[in-house]
Each structure stands twice: as C-alpha cells, then as structure tokens.
Structure 1
Amino acid sequence: MAPWNVIERHVVAYRTMRMMVGMADFTHILASRPDFDDSDREWLHHLVADWQVIADLSFADLLLILQTGDGGYVVAEQCRPSTVMTLRTEDVVDNAVNDDMVAELDAAMLSDDIFRSTVLRSVGKSTVCNVYAPIHHNGKTLGLVVRETNMSTRESTGRYENESIKAGKQLFEMIPRGEFPYKDSVMNQRHIARVADGFIVLSVDGVVQYASPNAISCFRRLGSLVTMQGQYLSEVGTGLLHTNDSFPESLPLVLSGKAAIDSELEANRSVVSMRSLPLFDERGRTGAIVLCRDVTELRRREQELQTKDATISEIHHRVKNNLQAVSALLRLQARKTTSLEVKKGLEEAQRRVQTIAMVHEGLSQTADEIVDFDKVISNLLKMSVDLATMRDQHIHINYIGKFGMMPAQDATPLSLVLTELITNAVEHGFEGRKDGNITISVGRGGNNLNVVVEDDGSGLVMEEGRTMPRSAGSGLGTQIINTFVTNDFGGTVRWEARREGGTRVILDMKLRAAASESE
C-alpha cells in the first residue's frame, strides 16, 4: 500500500478535479488511486465492460464501489439491468456512499467470498437487499461489486425468472474467485448476443437444462423442431448443418459451453449469434450459459450495404475511366491543332477534367462518399505543377495543417479551386524563373474552412478598380475560383501581395456537406 500522506495528496487532487469538472468518470476515479497499478485498472475496466450480463440475468442493479483515502467509499461505476425496471434512474457515479453503510462495506472488503447484508435498505420507494462481491486481484482487494435486488421482483417468479436469477448468481459468485470477468475470452462477432435475446442453461456435459422462449425461437429459425431440453446442444446445433454449410472453428466450444467465446450458427438461411459463458464453483466448471441472438436481418442489411457500397465504388471507378478518356481526347486534339491559343485552352480543359477524375478515383477506393482530401489534393497539385512548369523549372509545394476527410460534394469544387490557384501561381508568378515555393496553410473548425495559398513569385499586377489579379488570356481560372468559392461555399476570396514578395490568396469558406451533417 502507498504511504498515507501519498494517498491523502491524491485524494485532495481527486476532489479538486471533481470540483473543476463537476463529475469524474470511471477512468478518472481509477487514476486517483495510487495503490492501483496498470493491471489492477485493466482488470476493473475488463469487469465493467462485461458485467451487463450479470445485471440482466440477476434482474438487479450493480454498483462498483471503491475505497477512498479518508476511509469512505465512492461509487466508481454503475450498471442498470435491461431485463427489469432499474432501481437507479439517476446517475450515482462519483457519489460518496452514505456513512451508515461504511461498517458493512468494511466487513465486505475483508471477506474472501460473497458477503450478504443483514439489513434491508430503501432506494426510493423500493426495499433492497444488498449482496457484495469483493474484487480480488494480485493479492489485494480492489473494491466491491454490489448487487442491489429489488425485493418486489422476487415475490412471484416463474421458471424463466428462476433460471435467469440462478445463472446470474453463479456468475456473480465467480467475481471474488477471480473467475469473472474471463481472462481468456474471445469476442469476434460485432452483434454480441444479450440475455434478453435468449439464453440456454447447459450442464457440465453440455446438456440443455433450460432454454428461454427467445432462445427456442432462435433455433426454430435455424430449422430445429426438436425439444431442446435434455438434448446435447452440440448435437442440436450441428444437426442443423448441411454438407456445404459454413462451420466456424469456435462453434463446438460455444455449443459445449467449455470456453468463453462467441460464434455464429448459420442454417436454413438464418443466422444466430451465440456466446458461451462457462460457470464455475470452488471445485471447477459446473456448466455454462449460452446467449443466443437472431441476427438474420442484421446480416441481410449488412450484405445489402456491402453490395450498395461496391456498386457506388464501381460507379466512381467508371466515371473516373470515362473522364480520363475525355482527358485523353482533349490532349490528342491539342496536339493536332496549330493555334497556340486553342492548344492552351484545350490543355487547360484537359487538366480540369483530369482533376475531377482524380477525385472520383479517391472515391472509388472507399466504401463511403468521403475521401481523405489531403491525399487527393497532394497528388492533384503535384500533377498541376508538373503540367504547368517549364522543363528547367523546380517548384516546391509545402503544406501546413490538414484538410481531413471530406465528402465528394465539397471535394470536387475545392480541388478545382486549388488546382487553378496553383496553376495560376506557376504560370504567372514564376514565369521566367528557375525555381519557386508555394505554401498552402489550412485551418479547419467544423464546417468552417480557411485556406491561404502563398507563393514567392513575382507578385500581383492589379487592374485599376479591381480586387483580383490581371492574368493572361481570358482569366477563366480566376473566374472559376471566384465562382466556386462564392456560389458553392458561400465564401470570399482575397488577393494580396506578400510583404516578402509574391502573392497571398486567402479563402474563407463554409463546407456545405459538413454543414448539413451538423444540423
């Protein structure tokens, strides 16, 4: 144990933190304990990550209570049952435990096994019986799990309630022995079965002693017509499979209840997710609880989404290919024309088409309509520089900040804006120069985007009475920049000269897709 003065300092720091943030969460409460090492904290995190099944089976609220340095106790975490009305409608995490319970909690902390309260207490209008499970880990007692049972729920119970409560008590009694949470559990499925979805009680040999109505319905969906009680669950489950049906390696362990693991059973065009919870007493394994959940519709929706995502990606891929074909035709036409003005116009059109094609290429590589804009724009601007520079020119682009993920609705016009700015800088700012530098600074907060593009080129040549640079030709690039920024992003474009020489363009925009998502 840590020296008392060390604990006292941490208690003071902990209370100061509570005053600052209003309420500490579980992680902060654990961090306030200097006598806990990383493995102790990990064990407690593991416990609260998996104790919902105990609350649901027991029809009871659970509280995790830790001792404080001043001899009191604090509620570090709570768990409400999803199978019955909770006793705790309010959050009690970070609340100090009443002084009249300290003596009972002290006795429970010293217990090697389950400690039962000798008095009934009141929570709201309910009469509650408390049972304590001391949490032993690495030779020390970390705290207590309190099972709060509303006595009114025990007045009239049927087979379902009796079997559920019995199983919940067995799991609860495994806590002091360090057998729950499971040290070697393997959870692979995304849709983990819950108590309310259906549960089966197995004997040590894997024989079904009880199956809840929902569990029976799950196996009916799989095609089972036998009475499950008294049957080996492994025989019932494997009997549903045909020659070509998938057979996960973990399935036998789940059906026999021999390991804390999950799996899926797929038959009769239905899918049931199952999870095995072995039960132990002082002598060893006594049986298991197998949770069942019909995930047929969830799997069907996932397959539909995968098909939809694949279709969208394929569309973007084909659009990219078609745009690249258009770009190739424009490049071919530019080579055949003898007019320098027409050639330049065709080359600019080819570059713009290629820019849109690269955005679609990025979209074709993801399942979402969102691209990592930093990767897309880096390739695009490199391409723009390569196309605009002369043979002996060396133009470098530097980035400050990140654009982040961006929907296609914003990515395409923003790509065109930035490539036009870079091309304009290279063609006009570095005309007649061997090298140069362009810096792109990005500031993004939610749907607000600020982009500053700077170059150390020859600077602006402003037309009288205008706030944009005078560029060669028709100035289509400048028109594209202003049109997209103003119309698509409701933003502004400001051109100004750099003090060190060159040009600075400041874009203030509001991303449309981000704005709609935040509403």
Structure 2
Amino acid sequence: AISCFRRLGLLNTMPGQYLSELGTQLLKENDPVPDTLPLVLAGKAAVDSELNANRSAVSMRSLVDNNGRVGAIILCRDVTELRRREQELQTKNATISEIHHRVKNNLQAVSALLRLQARKTQSDEVKKELQEAQRRVQTIAMVHEGLSQTADEVVDFDKVIANLLRMAVDLATMKDQHIEINYMGKFGMMPAQDATPLSLVLTELITNSVEHGFEGRKEGHITISVGRSGPNLNVVVEDDGSGLGSEEQGGMARSSGSGLGTQIINTFVTNDFGGSVNWEPRREGGTRVVLDMKLRAAQDE
C-alpha cells in the first residue's frame, strides 16, 4: 500500500494518518474522483474504487466488518500500467477510425470526379467505363465508411453489402426496371482484409446479372444465400433472368466493355481467397453462381 501511494505522489509517512486525508492531499483540481472513492478511503463501504493522481492509478477495495465498523482493511493494487495501455488502445482505435474516415472521404471525392467526367464526355463507351470505375470506387468507399464506425478493423458485412448491392442494382437498371434482392443467411462480422475484395466480387456479379440476365425485362429477382463456418465461406447468387447463356461465357462472367469486372471476380476469388467460381443453370430458370472461398483474415485468427 505504501508503494502504491508513493506512486501517486505521497511524500508523508502513512502510519497513524487518516487514509481519507492522505487521499484528499493527493487529488488535484482536475483529477477524476469516482463517487465510491470517499466511501473506500473512509472504510465505510465494501466497494471497488480507483484513485488517480500524479499520472498514476491505484485500485482499492475496503473490507468492512458487518458487526460494526472499528476500522477497515484497504486492498491496493497499482493499475497505472493497465490504464496506460487502455488509453493507448483507445487512441489507436480512434486513429484507425479517423484514417478510414479520411480514406472514405478521399474515395468519395474521386468518385465525384469520375461522375462529373462521365457527364461531360460525348462517347457512350467512355461514359460507361467511367461510370463503372465510379461504382467500384464508391464500393470501396462504403466499406471504409463501415470500418470508420467501429473500434477495430472489423465491419458488419451484412449491413455494408446490403447498401452496396442496392446501389449496384440502381446504377445498372434502366428507368422502367425493378429488380428485387433477397438474402438468406448472414455474412457476420468481417475484417477489412476480406470485406473489400468480397464486396467488389459481389457487386460485379450483381451488376453482371442485371445488365445481361435482365436485359429487356421489366422486373426480376436476385437471391443471395450465405453459408459460413469459420474461415470457409459459401455464397450462391441466383437470378430468374434470361439464363446461363446470357450471363456466362467460357466459365466466367460475360464480358462487357473492358472486361475488368470479369477479371475482378476471378482474380479475387481464385487468387486472394483460394476459392472457385462455378456457373450453373438455375433449375427454375435463370442463372446460379456458386462461390466457395476461404477468408484469409479469419483463417489467421
């Protein structure tokens, strides 16, 4: 106890002194004072409290005799290092959140520039490529927005992907089209290392489905089924569109424009996740895409 109070800045001798007076001497004007501290220092209640002074912290608990208080035993523990580490962790988390927030803002600025450039160009082909680039940048920005709202590098992927895919559908559909998306299962919490590439893969698949599977149709339905067990992730994307021939070509998504979307799907799934992409005809009509992957970050945990 003497060592703990020396850490707090006490210079006086402790034997024969009132602990409440010693504690009062240590406290400065802006030092935090828990409501339970006076009770512990006076030995009036068997509760936990903490005395913070001189950039140090001591955890205390008084043990009181129920038959009548004639004194108290104060258990002291130096928790200075523990509090310092907690404060460093809070600072680190706040810094990481701020970084994600700034990255998101910068990506949104890039997205806005691409959108402005697409509006000014006279070429339909260039306009389409710029719009696709804008959508991909916006996809990454929304992942960082989700990460900026958490205390760690993990994001609620179900919430993020629902907004992303709705945006992808809205951008790909024509004015008189109505495409509905349904979900089965949960992705759960996902580290940034996996969330960003997976969000790009899914938005490319949805965009491919809308542009090719529902071309010339007024309405349609897309269902995303998720199965996750540890690092193993199975995602099935089904639509009731025109069928496999309109969406798949050579075992890959049908290319339009530069074909970058096809490369994104296959590169991330096969190289980054060590998985596979299988295109199948849907039994009721339409297309079924099965993704089998291993999440990298989850595998390391």
TM-score with structure 1 length normalisation?
A: 0.56
Counterpart contact for 2:248–2:279, Cα < 8 Å: no
Distance, in Å, in 1 between the alignment partners of 2:29 and 2:15 is 26
Q: CA deviation at 1:227?
A: 2.6
Q: CA deviation at 1:277?
A: 2.4
Distance, in Å, in 2 between the alignment partners of 1:253 and 1:507 is 61
Match of 1:218 in 2: 4
Judging changes above 3 Å, is the alpha-carbon distance between structure 1 residues 378 and 463 closer, same or farther for their aligned structure 2 residues? closer
Q: Give secondary structure in 2 for the equivalent of 1:239.
A: helix
Counterpart contact for 2:248–2:254, Cα < 8 Å: no
- Indicate the structure whose relative CO is greater, using CA pairs within 8 Å and at least 6 residues apart: 2
1:472 paired with 2:232, answer no
Counterpart contact for 1:317–1:360, Cα < 8 Å: yes
1:320-361 Cα deviation digits (max 9, x unpaired):
111111111111110111111110000000000000000111
Please point out which of 64, 73, 95 is paired with 1:278.
Answer: 64
Q: Give secondary structure in 2 for the equivalent of 1:351.
A: helix
Q: CA deviation at 1:307?
A: 1.3
Moved over 6 A (4+): 462-465
**For structure 1, which runs of at least 5 residues remain unmatched after alignment?**
1-214
Match of 2:80 in 1: 296
1:269 paired with 2:21, answer no
Q: Give secondary structure in 2 for the equivalent of 1:484.
A: helix
Q: CA deviation at 1:225?
A: 2.3
Match of 2:39 in 1: 253
Q: CA deviation at 1:388?
A: 1.1
Q: Give secondary structure in 2 for the equivalent of 1:461.
A: helix
Match of 1:238 in 2: 24
Judging changes above 3 Å, is the alpha-carbon distance between structure 1 residues 331 and 473 closer, same or farther for their aligned structure 2 residues? same
Q: Give secondary structure in 1 for the equivalent of 2:300.
A: helix
Structure with greater proportional helix content: 2
Distance, in Å, in 2 between the alignment partners of 1:326 and 1:505 is 31
Residue identity in the other structure for 2:7: R
1:230-261 Cα deviation digits (max 9, x unpaired):
22111111111123322222110011121122
Judging changes above 3 Å, is the alpha-carbon distance between structure 1 residues 435 and 463 closer, same or farther for their aligned structure 2 residues? closer
Distance, in Å, in 2 between the alignment partners of 1:279 and 1:452 is 65
Which of 1 and 2 has greater Rg?
A: 1
Q: Give secondary structure in 1 for the equivalent of 2:252.
A: coil
| 1:329-408 aligned within 5 A | 329-408=113-192
1:93-130 Cα deviation digits (max 9, x unpaired):
xxxxxxxxxxxxxxxxxxxxxxxxxxxxxxxxxxxxxx
1:345-386 Cα deviation digits (max 9, x unpaired):
000000000000001111111110111111111111111111
Q: Give secondary structure in 2 for the equivalent of 1:432.
A: coil
Counterpart contact for 1:461–1:469, Cα < 8 Å: no
Distance, in Å, in 2 between the alignment partners of 1:291 and 1:401 is 50
Distance, in Å, in 1 between the alignment partners of 2:248 and 2:89 is 56
Q: CA deviation at 1:391?
A: 1.2
1:313 paired with 2:115, answer no
1:278-324 Cα deviation digits (max 9, x unpaired):
2223xx34433222111111111111111111111111111111111
1:440-467 Cα deviation digits (max 9, x unpaired):
1110000000000001111111799922
Counterpart contact for 2:243–2:281, Cα < 8 Å: yes
Match of 1:444 in 2: 228
1:505 paired with 2:289, answer yes
Counterpart contact for 1:278–1:285, Cα < 8 Å: yes
Q: Give secondary structure in 2 for the equivalent of 1:458.
A: coil
Q: Name whichever of 360-369 and 459-468 sits farther off.
A: 459-468
Distance, in Å, in 2 between the alignment partners of 1:469 and 1:380 is 19
Residue identity in the other structure for 2:111: S
Counterpart contact for 2:47–2:62, Cα < 8 Å: yes
1:377-426 Cα deviation digits (max 9, x unpaired):
11111111111111121111111111111110000000000000111111
Counterpart contact for 1:428–1:471, Cα < 8 Å: no
Residue identity in the other structure for 1:258: K
Counterpart contact for 1:401–1:441, Cα < 8 Å: yes
Cα RMSD after superposing both structures: 1.7
| 1:151-190 aligned within 5 A | none
Distance, in Å, in 1 between the alignment partners of 2:206 and 2:70 is 72
Residue identity in the other structure for 2:223: T
Q: CA deviation at 1:471?
A: 3.9
1:140-181 Cα deviation digits (max 9, x unpaired):
xxxxxxxxxxxxxxxxxxxxxxxxxxxxxxxxxxxxxxxxxx
Q: Give secondary structure in 1 for the equivalent of 2:73.
A: strand
Counterpart contact for 2:135–2:168, Cα < 8 Å: yes
Distance, in Å, in 1 between the alignment partners of 2:139 and 2:188 is 19
Judging changes above 3 Å, is the alpha-carbon distance between structure 1 residues 474 and 406 closer, same or farther for their aligned structure 2 residues? same
Match of 1:178 in 2: none
Counterpart contact for 2:209–2:247, Cα < 8 Å: no
**For structure 2, which runs of at least 5 residues remain unmatched after alignment?**
none
Distance, in Å, in 2 between the alignment partners of 1:291 and 1:319 is 48
Distance, in Å, in 1 between the alignment partners of 2:33 and 2:255 is 68
Distance, in Å, in 1 between the alignment partners of 2:254 and 2:91 is 50
Distance, in Å, in 2 between the alignment partners of 1:382 and 1:432 is 20
Distance, in Å, in 1 between the alignment partners of 2:181 and 2:147 is 24
Distance, in Å, in 1 between the alignment partners of 2:15 and 2:179 is 77
Please point out which of 201, 217, 220 is paired with 1:417.
Answer: 201
Residue identity in the other structure for 2:91: T
Judging changes above 3 Å, is the alpha-carbon distance between structure 1 residues 227 and 485 closer, same or farther for their aligned structure 2 residues? same
TM-score with structure 2 length normalisation?
A: 0.96
Residue identity in the other structure for 1:338: Q
